[in-house]
Structure 1
């Protein structure tokens, strides 16, 4: 009777525990701990032999020595040479080759190709010297060639795997940096585009204000208001010059179209293979030019993404007034084979759309389900 209410709490606790375990298992420190424990488990198989032959270590003392050597793997990311030196010590003292495999991998993984090659050469030379030292516990009748056929491949293979992982990490980091740079560049380009639109739209209004002030000044030339209209015209000219100085034009470019250009955009998308169903509230035409340009950019980017990732699917575009806000909704179906793909427009295009909308006080979200991809944006109408 009293156990049922505790079941949801228990389930939540178990779910939280699983999330904590997953997060801990994926951390670099956890991987280092697992690596050290794995090495210790493999080396523990040699405990009977170490106690019997290698310097007459007893079982507990051998376990402590092996655990101390494996503990050096906990700092393998920052100081991989510590585990490497400990592994060489184990070779010369205990004739143990397990730790050196982990150490060479760590040097190659976290030190790079040059460090991995140097560590492998040093290990091979050290092992060769130890081979000639009396007392090496090798099999009866073992020759130098058979010895090197085991020792050298162990080091080369471990170091090569580490170097390959190091190169993979570099490629992954480079790819991430390039993606980040592409997003930043897209955001900067969108900011430049917004600034140019500001120049075009506001500059046009300032020009009209200047011309109108000059006309009124001419009409009121013989009145007391003539000087005021002249000052107003001069102020408008100066404001236009300041605008030109702040927003430098870099090349000729037409301003971003407004909502009147959406019909042509939808027609172009249909010719490209992605038909569009456009539903637009007439009140959208009353928005300011900058907000209309933002609506156009959002729809344009969504149609571009649909053409790239969902070609042939119908794109639903809805632009409707909702009180003080204008809501833009663009959605399209996803092809049957797109379940494993990244979300449509998950890169720099989404960043540029978001930058344009946020610059005008709006919001933008992009969500993906198994069947559809939906972009929702809101802009203040006032």
Structure 2
């Protein structure tokens, strides 16, 4: 009788223990996305490492007591807050610390910042300047105290510190460039997909509207012939001429390059579902008969949305059953496509996607007065598009 309350108490304690961890993860994520927060964390880390030398600094010949040494180190670490815009500030401060306090911690952060935010040339120049400056100090009378250790300390400590910090910074700079390039490529792919979809929509407009304008022109000319000698003959002639001009303008604006088959409509969805099933992703298709009363342009949009969703399902959820529903809802047509999301792969990462398919679908649906949303639900991915029925 008491097992259930005990279990509830354990669950409450577990949930209470998880909440701080979740809050910490959210805080870390926010900090990871904020450059200023990262700069502040870097400055604090540098100050903490330099703080390990506070007892030695207070006892050295530079006449700094503990609080004053802590203040000087804090000011030096604070220059790292400017490491993105002015990495030379921390670099020059680090050189001052080397000559005055014999402190090598700040120079590592400074050289890394120069390599990370100014690239290879600045990092190489900064490293050479640091090594030359340190070598000059090592050969001054009385610095360091043990002259016998000058060469070994210089080659074993000073040079590796500078080279390693600058090399890590240059590697991070290269990584940032590659990541930026990938982001630009993804944006370019999305824009290209949108542009291609606009072209496809324009060609559909040319195919469908051009056909209707041709019929209107022919019909107007027939009516004009029948009205010869009557009062409204001139009106039919003007109507035929207006239709011809509209068709010419349409041809001038939208130039169909090469031959292209007309996009299928709602009647093409069963064949699309069969093709998806043969590829390994079965489809449960439900189509409202009222969808067949849509204009050819809107039927083409329905076909394109379903086609793109089935392509995405085959790519990201291969083998899962896809639910496709095309139903009238009041004055609008609702296209719903959903599929379960498979468990993550062995690397634990979702498939890479630039999002160009969703962008192109949104462009086509939006151009016809509709809306489109794509989202992840509990264990599933769902795309919902709406189009006006009228």
**Equivalent of 1:152, from 144, 150, 159?**
159
The correspondence of residues 134-173 of structure 1 with structure 2, limited to 5 A, is 134-139=141-146, 141-173=148-180
**Equivalent of 2:218, from 211, 229, 232?**
211
User: How many angstroms does 1:346 deviate by?
Assistant: 6.3
Distance 1:213 1:225, change over 3 A: same
Root mean square deviation, CA, Å:
2.4
Q: Which moved more, 1:370-379 or 1:347-356?
A: 370-379
The correspondence of residues 183-262 of structure 1 with structure 2, limited to 5 A, is 183-262=190-269
Distance 1:247 1:260, change over 3 A: same
Q: Secondary structure at the match of 2:311?
A: helix
Q: Note the residue ranges of structure 1 that are not aligned, 5 or more in a row.
A: 1-11
Q: What is the TM-score when the length of structure 2 is the normalising length? A: 0.88
Instruction: Give the distance between the partners of 1:115 and 1:344, measured in 2 at CA.
Output: 34
Give 2:136's aligned residue. 129
Instruction: Give the distance between the partners of 2:282 and 2:381, measured in 1 at CA.
Output: 15
The answer to whether 1:118 aligns with 2:125 is yes
Instruction: Give the distance between the partners of 1:111 and 1:164, measured in 2 at CA.
Output: 12
The correspondence of residues 1-382 of structure 1 with structure 2, limited to 5 A, is 23-24=30-31, 26-139=33-146, 141-337=148-344, 340-342=348-350, 347-369=355-377, 371-382=379-390
Q: Which moved more, 1:35-44 or 1:225-234?
A: 225-234
User: How many angstroms does 1:290 deviate by?
Assistant: 1.2
Instruction: Give the distance between the partners of 1:206 and 1:87, measured in 2 at CA.
Output: 76
Q: Is the 8 A contact 2:138 2:144 kept in 1?
A: no
Q: Secondary structure at the match of 2:149?
A: coil
Instruction: Give the distance between the partners of 2:283 and 2:29, measured in 1 at CA.
Output: 43
Q: Secondary structure at the match of 2:281?
A: coil
Distance 1:58 1:159, change over 3 A: same
User: How many angstroms does 1:220 deviate by?
Assistant: 2.4
Q: Note the residue ranges of structure 2 that are not aligned, 5 or more in a row.
A: 1-18
Distance 1:162 1:54, change over 3 A: farther
Instruction: Give the distance between the partners of 2:315 and 2:25, measured in 1 at CA.
Output: 38
Instruction: Give the distance between the partners of 2:310 and 2:373, measured in 1 at CA.
Output: 16
CA deviation map 1:301-326 (0-9, x unaligned): 01111121222222211101111011
